[in-house]
Each structure stands twice: as structure tokens, then as C-alpha cells.
Amino acid sequence: MNVMIACGGTGGHLFPGLAVAEALAARQHKVQLLVSEKAVDQTALTSLTAFSDPSRVEVRSVSAVGYSGVRQLIRFCFRLMRATRDCAGLCDDFKPDVVLGMGGFTSAPAVLAARWRRARTLIHESNAVPGKANRCVSRIADHVALGMADCARFFGNRRVTVTGTPIRSALRQGRVADAHQRLGLERGRLTVLVMGGSQGAHAINEAMAGALPRLEDWRDRTQFLHLTGTADETLLSEAYEKNGMKAKVMKFCDQMELAYSAADLVVGRSGAATLAEIAAFGLPSVLIPFPRAAGDHQLHNARVFERVGASLLIAQSQLAAPRDEGGERLAEAVSALLQDEVQRQRMAAAARSIAVTNAEERIATLVEQYAN
């Protein structure tokens, strides 16, 4: 069976797509990945070496088609037509039995081209609120796979299956026993993992810098693993040093299984992929949704975790005040969870209760069903 997976544009689309590709390759199917030309997507090329049979997976770059508003409608339509034509050419060469779109405007042309070439089509939506591309192409897709059950209401009477959101194979192996040692952290301290996605989050970085003076009572009992992104690495390194806090500050971490294994508490954004990983590791979290996410989907994602008791939610607007005020709100939340082990355990159990660790296998099975 030949399967085309369009998954480029962001890590939230790319890595779940790679996980499904790995599952299909392990089932002896041929997979063609469509990614964008963005730098983040080129990780697809290196990630293939981790597959059980990398020879069964090939990568093609296609144009990403972003919609930026009515004023750019004509340009958008032209680019969409061109990208769809390019994807149709790839379909002619690869002859997919099924095309799977993982969301975003990289996948929309692929799904449109698949219908043009009479191939079966599926889409996957990770978030609690679907993006514009998936809303549009769901009308012609044969089936919709969902990361969160809350999203089903947006697709009316279309065929939907809640599969969960796939996570990378390294993260499906569970906790790494020597994670503290490999990261240069002390095993006896409570570890707070702070992150803002693959590029970092300046608002979270600023708030954490402001929170540190208010966490001085925890100086001898905690440590921080802070993934800052490129711009704020120096800012946070200096902040932790100034406040006498033990911390490992990194621009990014390409071995997130170590970071999650060492963490006792997570402070971060609420993208669907991040939440799927947090749930898989059963970690309590303080979530600060990105306020400009399309459809405010990060807020809705966070509310799913808040509703089941897995997370505390802080709006970024509460951190947008001068640094000392924003830091106070974050410090209160972090301190309250650090001192309440029972609450952390309850939140961890709640996170595990909504984890789906075989989402890629569920989606692979759906793909096979439609190919047959």
C-alpha cells in the first residue's frame, strides 16, 4: 500500500506525521512524506534514521499555502492552485492509495489533489478547535481523526474517530532512568521544566525571570530545566544565576524524553503535541496558552486538561503586566504545586488518564481500512 502523508509547516504537524509514517513503514507499507521548505521540517530527513525500515519512507518538499486574510485572497487562491497542481503531479508519480493530511495549509493542497486523482483521503486534527485548513478540506475527506474528543462537534455529521495525537517514538518508551545524570541535574531536587515550544516563548521567559525572586524559599530544594529558544538564553541564564537558583538553561532540547523524565512539574504552552507528550509522561502542569493561536485553540486545549484536573491555567494577559506582577502570579502557581505533593500526584494521575500512547497505530489502522 502507498500512503502519502502531508505533515509540514510546524512541529505540531510534522512530528505526529512522522510517528504515523513510522507505524505504517513497520507494517511494510510505502510512505511519502510531504513537508514544507521551512527549517523545522528538514528534521524529517534526520528522523527517518530512527525508523524500523527507513527505506520505506521518502520525503518531498512542497509549497506551504498560508491564509493571511481577505486582502490576500487572490494571492492565496493562486498559491493554493499551484500547490494543488504540484501535489497532483506527486500523486501521479507515487500513486497513493490513501492521502493523510495532518493539518495546516501544507496538507490542504495534498488532500485536494488526492480527491482530484480519486485517492481516498483522511485528515487528522490534533487540537480541541480545528484549524481553517482542516475545516475546509473535511468537507471532501473520507474520514476525520481527532486528537481530542471536544473537537468532534465542529465536524457535524462527518465520519470521525478519536485517535489521540501521535508522539515521537522516543517518547513512547516511557521514562529514562538516568535522565537526571545525562542532563546534569541532581536527582534529589524537585525539577521544574519550563518551555515555550520549539522556538521558546518570550512571555513565559519574562514571567519566569520575574518569578524567581519569589521562589527563594525553594532555592535549596528545586532545580529548573528551562528551554528558552534562541533569543532569551542569556536573559534566563543571568536571572537564575542572580537569584542563586540551580538551573540548566538550553536554547532547545532534541531529546525531550530526558526532559520529561527528569521533570516533576511543567510550565509551558498548550499546543496539542506538547499536551500529548505531557499526558504520556503523566506530569502536572501550569499551562499558559499562546493567545494568538488560530481560533484560540491553545486556550481550548488547556481547558481540556484543566477540566480533568491535570493542569492549572494562567492566561498570558496575567503575565503581560510589569515583570514583577507577572512573576508574582506564576510564582504563586509554581510554589503552590511544589509544596503540595498530593495535588501533584492527583494532577499526574489525571494527565495519565487522558493519555493515548498508541495514536499512531490507531491512525495507521484507519488508513489501512480505507485503502482496503
Question: Which region among 68-77, 133-142, 156-165, 237-246 has the lowest average model confidence (pLDDT)?
Answer: 68-77
Q: Which of 27, 18, 96 is nearest to 59 (CA)?
A: 18
Q: What is the mean pLDDT of residues 256-274?
A: 96
Taking residue 317's Cβ as centre, other Cβ atoms within 10 Å add up to 10
Question: Which region among 8-22, 86-100, 331-345 has the lowest average model confidence (pLDDT)?
Answer: 8-22
Domain 2-167+357-371 shares a fold with domain 176-353 = yes
Q: What is the mean pLDDT of residues 18-36?
A: 93
- pLDDT at 351 (0 to 100): 98
Q: Percent of the chain scored above 70 by pLDDT?
A: 91
Asked whether 322 and 331 are in contact (CB, 8 A), the reply is: no
Largest CA distance in the chain: 64
Confidence of residue 372 (pLDDT cuts 50, 70, 90): confident
**CA 15, CA 167: separation in Å to the nearest integer?**
7
Residue 45 has pLDDT above 70, yes or no: no
Domains of the chain by residue range: 2-167+357-371, 176-353
**CA 87, CA 207: separation in Å to the nearest integer?**
44
- pLDDT at 196 (0 to 100): 85
Q: Which of 88, 140, 134 is nearest to 110 (CA)?
A: 88
Q: Which of 166, 172, 131, 173 is nearest to 21 (CA)?
A: 166
| Domain 176-353 indexed as CATH 3.40.50.2000 | yes
Which residues lie below 8 Å from residue 169, measured CB to CB, with a gap of 6+? 19, 22, 50
Q: What is the mean pLDDT of residues 238-249?
A: 96
Question: Which region among 56-65, 83-92, 116-125, 203-212 has the lowest average model confidence (pLDDT)?
Answer: 56-65
Q: What is the mean pLDDT of residues 302-331?
A: 85
Query: 170 vs 267, which has greater pLDDT?
Result: 267
In angstroms, how far is CA 231 from the centroid of its own chain? 21
- pLDDT at 49 (0 to 100): 62
Long-range CB contacts (within 8 A, 24+) of 364-369: 364/20, 364/23, 364/24, 364/27, 366/122, 366/143, 366/145, 366/161, 366/163, 367/1, 367/3, 367/20, 367/24, 367/98, 367/100, 367/122, 368/1, 368/27, 368/29
Which tens digit of pLDDT belongs to each residue from 86-101? Answer: 999 999 999 999 999 9
Residue 342 has pLDDT above 90, yes or no: yes
Residue 42 has pLDDT above 70, yes or no: no
Residue 200 has pLDDT above 70, yes or no: no
Asked whether 300 and 131 are in contact (CB, 8 A), the reply is: no
Q: Which of 207, 268, 269 is nearest to 232 (CA)?
A: 207
Look at the domain 2-167+357-371 and name its fold.
Rossmann fold (3.40.50)
- pLDDT at 67 (0 to 100): 61
In angstroms, how far is CA 332 from the centroid of its own chain? 27
Residue 53 has pLDDT above 80, yes or no: no
Cell representation of residue 243: 537569584
Q: Which of 226, 177, 175 is nearest to 202 (CA)?
A: 226
**CA 40, CA 181: separation in Å to the nearest integer?**
28
Residue 199 has pLDDT above 60, yes or no: no
**CA 84, CA 96: separation in Å to the nearest integer?**
15
Q: What is the mean pLDDT of residues 252-281?
A: 95
